[in-house]
Amino acid sequence: MSGKLDFPAGGTQGDESLRCAAHRETWEETGFNLEVGKLLTYSSSGMPVFHCTGEASMAALAEQVPAPGWAKIEVIELIRVNPFEITNEALRFNDDLIPLRDAFVQAGGAD
């Protein structure tokens, strides 16, 4: 909604765990069914950032894909980015860039 990059995110529902909320929110906003793993860090606003894995076929996705039809209210499109190739101005929450980069490195994304 801001015209900037953002993580799939949202609050828990009822007694839902943080991992379950991360899985649900990612599905709702991207259509991706990911395995939510280890908690890596928290964003500057307190959002937990998890190490998630998906199907191997996800690596073959284009850099930009349309958002699922049900997500169009919040999401225009999905964009794969390297957190070391963007600036904090590109993000909805500017202070999230350093925690994002740290989590990316912890998850093995900088290898």
- Residue stretches of the chain with pLDDT short of 70: 1, 110-111
What's the whole-model pTM score? Answer: 0.84
- Cα separation, 16 vs 24, whole angstroms: 10
Residue 91, strand partner residues: 5
Are the C-beta atoms of residues 50 and 36 closer than 8 Å to each other? yes
pLDDT at 27: 92
Distance (Å, whole) CA 85 – CA 46: 23
Q: Return the SS3 of 78.
A: strand
Q: What percent of the chain has pLDDT over 90?
A: 46
Q: Is there a contact between 81 and 109 (Cβ–Cβ < 8 Å)? A: no
